Chain A
Amino acid sequence: MVSPHRATHKRETPMPFLELQNLQKTYPDGTRAVRGIDLAVDEGEFIVLLGPSGCGKTTTLRMIAGLEDPTDGQIVLGNRNVTHLPPSQRDVGFVFQFYALYPHMTAKKNIAFPLENIGTSPSDIDATIDRVARALGIEALLDQYPRQLSGGDQQRVSLARAMVRTPDVYLMDEPLGTLDAEHRLELRAFIRRQQLALSTTAIYVTHDQEEAMSLADRMVVMEGGKIKQTGSPPEIYNHPADLFVANFVGSPGMNLIDGQIVQHEDGLAFTRLGANVHIPIHLRVAPPRAILGIRPEFIRPANRGVPGKVVLGEYLGSHAYVHVDTPLGELVMHAPDRFAIGESIHLRLDEGRVCLFDPDTGMALARSAGMKDVKLYGRSISQN
């Protein structure tokens, strides 16, 4: 539902559709909820802000909506500086976590509410509601009051209310957070399909990393009022920028092993004191110590490799998470089947999927493209 006008407008200006520049929010009590966010969003993009509670993701969203006034920085929406405009002058659609349907109005009245004050004729209102209701499958519910509806249906109505106006951008604040698992999956797919069909820009806030990855064109991982990493779901998942992202994204999180980097055979290898295990690594610059991260699915049972003993198995039907005690520490492996507790096995770590982090800063260490030019902190290491 991109208006022709807006489409032209997009061609003429290569600028991003929505831009946050050094956005900050400090509450009167001194809490610094958002500490300088820079983000450029293209038209039609589905952005997910992901982070633990208190990371500033909801505050950021509310500032975009105009429900909070930024302390510093700018918000540019469709070429307009909207930083300090009231919400009514921004043309955004907002879906609240707790539905926020007006209890004294029927579902239909709720959906009509955003149209009533912009002079839409009653027949147009009815037509729009019909169309949106059909898309959401809530035609039968229109005459009911919110309290008569299930949580999932209430959230559908609230999505409908946000959609009737075809705003510049949809803002969604954990809209599925309070739903049960079944409704959540169903509505999640619906939201994405709808957004793709209308190709409207959307910003979606959640603390559920799985939801984030399944929905996002681009994910923005936040912590402590700052952006930790921005990227497509595979980028974030496979190449976390730091230990926080490595841990927060993925369930279970990455296996993280504290160890040393030493010269071994032809090149550098990661090891742990006392463990007779070396994992070849490729780094441009290598510190003496590092934290090695590897996702459970990149560890598999093998005939040779890191020896270990099974200490715990979590069987999940299609697969199992097996906890194995190894000289490198306890590792969690994604295995196709169960293992008996106490069984001795060998593990193979996929060297190409290993991430390395600086133990002091927590930041990911840059990988080297090839095997040349490897340095161990100033000491040049010869290849041979």
Chain B
Amino acid sequence: MRGWRWLVIVPYFLLATLPLCWLFLTSLKTQEAAISSTASLIPTTDENIAPGGLKFSATGDAYRKLATPHTGKAHAFFHYLFNSVIIGLLSALASVVLGTGCAYGFSRFRIAGTRDWLFFIFSTRFLPPLAVVVPVLMMYRLFDLPNTHLGLILLYTAFNLSLAVWLMKGFIDEIPRAYEEAALVDGYSPFQAFYKIILPHSATGMAVTAVFCLISAWNEYGFALALNNAEAVTVPVYFAGLQGNIQGIPWPQIAAGVLIFVVPIAVFTVLVRKHLLRGVTFGTIKQ
């Protein structure tokens, strides 16, 4: 009875994954092969293949070229990748630290207007980045923060904080209160109960939250574009900047760069697959 499922899954699976496979193939090609009007599909190690066939000779040139700056750019791809890594990691860390504390507070203490606060936090995620970016830019100018890593880190931390608070609250709500209460009657202070009991227990939750914050910062484009044109340019902004002349775009290098850029995300997706649902629904649905 269930045979029909493959009629749906197989075509969609192909449509969904072929672009990613094509990405990989392109990264192995030369520029001429990449923009040839007859697509070649099969990589070979043979270096003397006539153009126009199904086979092409695979090369690692695209990956090598990522280490040298592209025409008109100040830095090589890896410089921008490094920016993305630093900004992503530090802002994820900050979001998780602030978010965990906040989630713990709202989960365990009686705080006036808890509901309203939580929904305020939630609603910050709905603001279109461009609706708040200009005042932030003005504010940053006062502190010399535009074009800096710190500026983007702070902005991403704020942007991801709502996600972090809601996800962490979901995780902390699941830890029985009796654990902390046991610590309290055993003579520990509330803060000791937090870091001796709650922190170790929410380690998984914190890791999952960090991954989601990291991915969201990693992929972000609007803020990064508006706040930066020099020092702290991230990969999405760098790639978008190569687009001026479509004919002149070095597709194999872009494919190689995109691949390097998305592989960590794919790996993280696999790692947190059990928590994906929570992650994309702000912890409102738990599997």
Contacts and interface: CB of A to CB of B under 8 A. Distances in A.
A117 B187 contact: yes
Interface of B: 110, 176, 178-179, 181-190, 192, 197, 200-201
A92 interface: yes
A117 B197 contact: no
In this complex, the member of B179, B182, B185 whose beta carbon has the largest number of chain A beta carbons within 10 angstroms is B185
Interface of B is mostly: helix
Contacts of B192: 117
10 contacts: A28-B110, A67-B185, A88-B188, A94-B182, A96-B178, A100-B182, A102-B179, A102-B201, A117-B186, A171-B185
B186 A165 contact: yes
A87 interface: yes
Interface of A is mostly: loop
Nearest to B184: A87
Nearest to B200: A104
Contacts of B188: 88, 117
A96 B186 CA distance: 12
Q: Top 6 closest A-B pairs, CB basis?
A: A114-B186, A100-B178, A87-B184, A94-B185, A100-B182, A96-B178
Nearest to A67: B181
A77 interface: no
Contacts of A100: 176, 178-179, 181-182
Contacts of B176: 98, 100
Interface in A202-226: none
A96 B184 contact: no
A329 interface: no
Size bracket of the A interface? 20 to 34
Given A104-B200, A104-B201, A66 B185 contact: yes
A28 B113 CA distance: 13
Nearest to B187: A88
Contacts of A165: 186-187
A65 B182 CA distance: 10
Contacts of B201: 102-104
A129 to B, nearest CB: 14
Nearest to A158: B182
In this complex, the member of B178, B200, B201 whose beta carbon has the largest number of chain A beta carbons within 10 angstroms is B178
In this complex, the member of B181, B184, B187, B188 whose beta carbon has the largest number of chain A beta carbons within 10 angstroms is B187
Contacts of B110: 28
Contacts of B190: 86
Contacts of A90: 185
B189 to A, nearest CB: 6
A244 interface: no
Nearest to B196: A113
A116 to B, nearest CB: 9
